[in-house]
Amino acid sequence: MVRDIKIFDSSLRDGAQGEGISFSVKDKIKIVKTLDQLGVSYIEAGNPGSNSKDLEFFEELKNIELKNSKIVAFGSTRRKGIRVEDDKNVIALLTANTSAVAIFGKSWDFHVTDIIKATLDENLEMIEDTIRFFKEKGKEVTFDAEHFFDGYKANPEYALSALKAAAKSGADYLTLCDTNGGSFPNEIYEITKKVKECFPNVSLGIHCHDDCGMAVANSIMAVEAGVTQIQGTFIGFGERCGNTNLSTVIPTLQLKKHYNCIQKDQISNLTSTARSVAEISNLALLNNTPYVGSSAFAHKGGMHIDGVTKSSESFEHINPELVGNRRRFLMSEVAGRSSILSSIQKINKNITKDSPEAQKVIDELKRLEHLGYQYEGAESSFELVVMKVLGMYTPKFEIDYFKTIGEHSVIGEEFNSSSIVKVSVDGKEEITAAQGNGPVNALDKALRKALEVFYPELRDVYLTDYKVRVLDTENTTSAKVRVIIESTDGNKTWSTVGVSSDIIEASLIALRDSIEYKLIAIKSKSTNNNLINQVNEIII
Amino acid sequence: MVRDIKIFDSSLRDGAQGEGISFSVKDKIKIVKTLDQLGVSYIEAGNPGSNSKDLEFFEELKNIELKNSKIVAFGSTRRKGIRVEDDKNVIALLTANTSAVAIFGKSWDFHVTDIIKATLDENLEMIEDTIRFFKEKGKEVTFDAEHFFDGYKANPEYALSALKAAAKSGADYLTLCDTNGGSFPNEIYEITKKVKECFPNVSLGIHCHDDCGMAVANSIMAVEAGVTQIQGTFIGFGERCGNTNLSTVIPTLQLKKHYNCIQKDQISNLTSTARSVAEISNLALLNNTPYVGSSAFAHKGGMHIDGVTKSSESFEHINPELVGNRRRFLMSEVAGRSSILSSIQKINKNITKDSPEAQKVIDELKRLEHLGYQYEGAESSFELVVMKVLGMYTPKFEIDYFKTIGEHSVIGEEFNSSSIVKVSVDGKEEITAAQGNGPVNALDKALRKALEVFYPELRDVYLTDYKVRVLDTENTTSAKVRVIIESTDGNKTWSTVGVSSDIIEASLIALRDSIEYKLIAIKSKSTNNNLINQVNEIII
């Protein structure tokens, strides 16, 4: 019997409470689209009552059509001493206009009496009133029983009465929260099992924190005890030590226990989704993240490599390709040839595993990876590398010289950043200069200004995203940086990457790739060049 | 009844199989001393048979006296078809001259037949011979039953017979390994319990991997089922996704379950030990590491901060001081006024919620946050802001002028980035220049070079981390950037922030704060200025 587990992602809400996490509205929209694509059931998108920036985001969300996910707005039960319809946070939650809401309330008696300083009875009324209010407005309601496990351990009767108040008002899910992250797997299992016995006809959820490094295990044990909704954040970030890592829970339940968490054909997109979420969140996805990290199937010990070569299951708990990851042998630096091959074949179908061209591409990629290049999130640069190696590339311009100058009298006064660029196209030279907000902006302006003389279509191109990642923090300001930029011509969007120990040079490499990609792969859409049309398909 | 749990650290052996981990002999000695100081029972120090560098290290170890820990040398059962005394790896293991050894052997039938291609019976003889050999030499022997759980699931009878062979020869510990990291907590519990019933008089151990993110929970469940030795690595690194994180397991068992893992008075050194191990291993200790990470007790949500202020157990599973960590309130849009106030009071205790100074600080913070400042991860800049508003700040220098120049002929050719900086201190001017890898590096060098003329103590200051975050990706290269730098003088570490639409100016602001903080808050430690001493307490 296959059981469905609803994945409830809170990267944008509880995740945003993680140290160093800060999303722009645009970042949030990108994450929503990424998670919807993968097919998580619920996306908890923010707390409209506590954060006015979130309201703006919910407004934008109304224009976006989702295929798989329901957007959830998060808020509290009404405050004590007022009517639910007079609580401005409750009203803000309604304004978000989502079909589903998550309402958290107290279930630990100590929190009721000592933190919100209400009576135990009034807290139950606050839960009941608030959930009834949203049910009457036709919402799907998840009740997050905050500190449920600590509450149950202190006063099981009261903790259960909080759930009863929510169930009585029609809550669709009773979600048991280990808010402080201090519970043990066997406790979670036993308490959840008792709750299931008390509420056999209500769906249960689980929400764990990783303060003891057991959030994933605790969530899995709750599933064993009967919950059908798992809350977490996609790559695990969140308040303090973070939340349940959904990119770990999903494959564990789906591949090993045969639950349905996301659609079967999406599980192979798990790794790319995790990398995208990390990229948008401006975090490095840790190498050793289960399933999706770049080291998750990296073998270093000689006996391990020998074993895996004989039979992969000897030292791998699953086949890495199932989750879109790849095996790596660290000693021999043998890259996952098959995954690279499939990308090459998107550009030229005739190249096989044994073609000398395939080896040449792999050698070049190895060289570039060694320099710090990474093509996740910069597929256009990857295509340019393949095209260059396959001889399908003619340079459209040369950058002969560039200079950046930044001059200030004192900090905060008029700033003056300018750039000089000299380019040549078919032997004709053009030199020009531009001013900008900082050296990279000045360089971007000058480069396109020079090239527009030859390629007027570049006037439509502008950058939509610019990200900087320091690769090796040990050397600090002289460390290598990786710059990823996203460009658009108003019609298509593409991403390119540059790496250098100098941020300006890294930016220029990414800018150059961006312009070349526009000129080679996009401009010539109207021509009949088959290879180019194949590249176009990848872009679309 | 208090039960003793033996902590068996394999940071130097299994940990060294993690990607990016590479220890010099000197690093290894440092880690041994650090772990001995904390009081782990066993330190698995290397594999003398497979690694000649390890033999040199064991040679050096003979000169070092340890107070608490036993050194363990690791190796395999004898190879098939030869006598144990003819196996050169066995002999290398003996040469290490440790009082304890760990011998791994196969317990999964598939590995015997398909990977080492021996008969099932011969494998049992290999286990028996090898362990008897070391017992006859007077060694304490741990038998690591590799892939025990996978083996038990495939062929329980055979897996148990491998343990029997080891027990018959006198193994002191039978350690059950979840080598591929694919097992579930309830499986680990049930299988371990059955093993304990079969071997009531032999001590059991557990060795888990984190491929499903459950290594810690699996180890805890094994303790519940009767094991008394836990293998892991101190901060969790190791092959693929890493090993059981001992810095998580130790406080979980010792503080919550009242086992003796290390001496009681050492548990408060847990955080500093984890940071030392990370430092020696050349890894950043992740902020969100349970118990010991810098975010492990960092509160960002306004309601969490309010709750912790009322009663710390409301949102903390343990008191952070127990493990030598500390509570932090993060300054951010989701934090409330109470957290700001408690930070101001660290600098001046007399300021209350209703003081006009408090309002002035809050107004200034609002203005700065609107500009894109964010003080989580940059507490030193926050302290400077408070000191400035409270009139406790006298500038130590002025930056009168700075210029950065980047010049290239073409991408990839010799790069030339330089900076000119003019500063003044008490009316005396100094102008100088420096070259660097990129404009920020050049600016950092030039600024400190100019200021060292006045403040020689700046020679000890260097940057340890440099982070760039683009704040609003819609304006792309003209967007604002937030730069956070971490500095050290070899003794203390502090973090500062700068924001500007220009990355160079943002970097310079963060650099200026870093130098000011060193000169104002750290340098004057020896003076009798009370306010300054209060600031010092925060830093320490």
CATH of the domain at B520: 3.30.160.340
Residue B499: which of B490, B510, B485 has the closest Cα? B510
Residue B248: which of B263, B230, B264, B265 has the closest Cα? B230
- Least CB–CB distance from B296: residue in A51, A240, A468: A240
Same domain, B263 and B146: yes
Tell which wins on pLDDT, A383 or B36.
Answer: B36
**Chain-chain contact of B111 with A245 (C-beta, under 8 angstroms):** no
CA distance, residue B260 to nearest chain A CA (Å)? 18
Q: Band of the pLDDT at B280, cuts 50, 70, 90?
A: confident
Same domain, B379 and B410: no
Residue A388 lies in a domain: no
Tell which wins on pLDDT, B402 or B479.
Answer: B402
User: What percent of chain B has pLDDT above 90?
Assistant: 58
- Least CB–CB distance from B217: residue in A214, A467, A473: A214
* Helical residues (DSSP H) of A199-296, grouped into ranges: 215-224, 246-251, 270-280
**Following DSSP, what letter does each residue of B103-147 receive, concatenated?**
EEEE-SHHIIIIIS---HHHHHHHHHHHHHHHHHTT-EEEEEEET
CA distance, residue B539 to nearest chain A CA (Å)? 19
A282: which chain B residues are within 8 Å (Cβ-Cβ)?
469-470
Distance CA A279, CA A27 (A): 10
Write down the pLDDT at residue A534: 30
The predicted-structure confidence for B98-118, as pLDDT tens digits, reads as follows 999 999 999 999 999 999 999
CATH of the domain at A515: 3.30.160.270
Least confident of A48-52, A211-215, B180-184, B534-538: B534-538
- Least CB–CB distance from B403: residue in A180, A256, A406: A406
Write down the pLDDT at residue B18: 87
Residue A323 lies in a domain: no
**Chain-chain contact of B474 with A316 (C-beta, under 8 angstroms):** no
Nearest CA in chain B to A424: B410
**Three-class SS of residue B259?**
coil
Least confident of A219-223, A466-470, A521-525: A521-525
**What is the end-to-end Cα distance of chain B in Å, rounded?**
38
The predicted-structure confidence for A137-174, as pLDDT tens digits, reads as follows 999 999 999 999 999 999 999 999 999 999 999 999 99
Residues A389, A357 contacting (CB under 8 angstroms): yes
Write down the pLDDT at residue B140: 98
Residues A528, A540 contacting (CB under 8 angstroms): no
The pLDDT of A450-457, averaged and rounded, is: 94
Please count the structural domains in chain B: 3
B97-to-A191, B129, B174, B426 alpha-carbon distances in Å:
50, 19, 22, 64
B333: which chain A residues are within 8 Å (Cβ-Cβ)?
22, 51, 53
Write down the pLDDT at residue B476: 53
pTM: 0.74
Same domain, B91 and B173: yes
Write down the pLDDT at residue A247: 98
Radius of gyration of chain B (CA): 28
Beta carbons within 10 angstroms of residue A159's beta carbon = 25
Residue B436 lies in a domain: yes
Write down the pLDDT at residue B236: 97
Same domain, B26 and B139: yes
**Chain-chain contact of A19 with B300 (C-beta, under 8 angstroms):** yes
Same domain, B379 and B475: yes
Q: What is the largest CA-CA distance in chain A?
A: 84
Q: Measured at the alpha carbon of residue A450, what is the angle toward residues A448 and A452, in degrees to the nearest 5?
A: 65
**Cα-flanking dihedrals φ and ψ of residue A288, to 5°?**
-95, 20
Write down the pLDDT at residue A331: 43
Residue A334 lies in a domain: no
Same domain, B409 and B530: no
Beta bridge partners of A145: A105, A176
Write down the pLDDT at residue A71: 97
Residues A499, B409 contacting (CB under 8 angstroms): no
Q: Which among A221, A248, A275 is the end of a domain?
A: A248
Structure tokens at A23: 């999303």
Nearest CA in chain B to A290: B211
Residue B473 lies in a domain: yes
Structure tokens at B526: 């020896």
B259-to-A89, A360, B2, B42 alpha-carbon distances in Å:
46, 58, 6, 17
Same domain, B235 and B361: no
**Cα-flanking dihedrals φ and ψ of residue A59, to 5°?**
-60, -45
- What order of strands is seen across the sheet that includes strand B493-500? B462-470, B481-488, B493-500
Side chain identity at residue B337, one-letter code: R
- Least CB–CB distance from A298: residue in B19, B377, B465: B19
Residue B443: which of A412, A436, A477 has the closest Cα? A477
- Least CB–CB distance from A410: residue in B237, B284, B400: B400
Side chain identity at residue B210, one-letter code: D
Radius of gyration of chain A (CA): 27
**Chain-chain contact of B444 with A477 (C-beta, under 8 angstroms):** yes
Q: Band of the pLDDT at A476, cuts 50, 70, 90?
A: low
Same domain, B403 and B386: no
Q: Which among B280, B304, B329 is the end of a domain?
A: B280
pLDDT at A332 over 70: no
B240: which chain A residues are within 8 Å (Cβ-Cβ)?
288, 295-299
Helix-helix angle A215-224:B185-198, to 10 degrees: 90
Q: Band of the pLDDT at A364, cuts 50, 70, 90?
A: confident
Same domain, B133 and B34: yes
Same domain, B417 and B511: no
Residue A381 lies in a domain: no
| Residues 6+ positions from A216 with CB-CB distance below 8 Å | A208, A210, A244, A245, A248, A249, A252, A290, B212, B213, B214, B217
Beta carbons within 10 angstroms of residue A62's beta carbon = 10
Helix (H) or strand (E) holding A37: helix A25-38
Same domain, B264 and B404: no
Residue B290 lies in a domain: no
A414: which chain B residues are within 8 Å (Cβ-Cβ)?
none
The predicted-structure confidence for B55-108, as pLDDT tens digits, reads as follows 888 999 988 999 999 999 999 999 999 999 999 999 999 999 999 999 999 999
The pLDDT of A55-59, averaged and rounded, is: 87
Residues B12, B32 contacting (CB under 8 angstroms): yes
The pLDDT of B319-325, averaged and rounded, is: 94
- Least CB–CB distance from B401: residue in A409, A466, A468: A409
Distance CA B386, CA B392 (A): 8
Contact pairs from chain A to chain B, CB under 8 Å = 368
**Three-class SS of residue A205?**
strand
CA distance, residue B527 to nearest chain A CA (Å)? 30
Where in the sequence is the domain holding A459, given as residue range(s)? 398-539
The predicted-structure confidence for B361-410, as pLDDT tens digits, reads as follows 888 887 887 777 877 668 889 889 999 998 888 899 999 988 888 887 77
Residues A339, A358 contacting (CB under 8 angstroms): no
Least confident of A87-96, A334-343, B472-481: A334-343
Nearest CA in chain B to A502: B438
Distance CA A130, CA A522 (A): 53
| Residues 6+ positions from B330 with CB-CB distance below 8 Å | A19, B298, B299, B300, B339, B375, B376
Tell which wins on pLDDT, B461 or A233.
Answer: A233
Structure tokens at B496: 């500062």
Residue A27: which of A63, A65, A47, A54 has the closest Cα? A54
pLDDT at A344 over 90: no
User: What percent of chain A has pLDDT above 70?
Assistant: 91
Least confident of A368-377, A416-425, B293-302, B457-466: A368-377
Residue B468 lies in a domain: yes
Write down the pLDDT at residue A535: 29
pLDDT at A378 over 60: yes
A201-to-A174, B21, B338, B410 alpha-carbon distances in Å:
11, 51, 42, 70
Structure tokens at A412: 């905060």
Residue A248: which of B21, B250, B181 has the closest Cα? B181
Distance CA B231, CA B249 (A): 10
Same domain, B53 and B115: yes
Q: Flag whether the ipTM exceeds 0.85.
A: no
What's the half-sphere exposure (Cβ side, CA atoms, 13 Å) at B341?
16
Mean pLDDT of chain B: 88
A316: which chain B residues are within 8 Å (Cβ-Cβ)?
180
Burial-class residue A424 by CB neighbours within 10 Å (0-12, 13-18, 19+): middle
Q: Which among A248, A268, A285 is the end of a domain?
A: A248
CATH of the domain at B257: 3.20.20.70
Write down the pLDDT at residue B532: 32
pLDDT at B193 over 90: yes
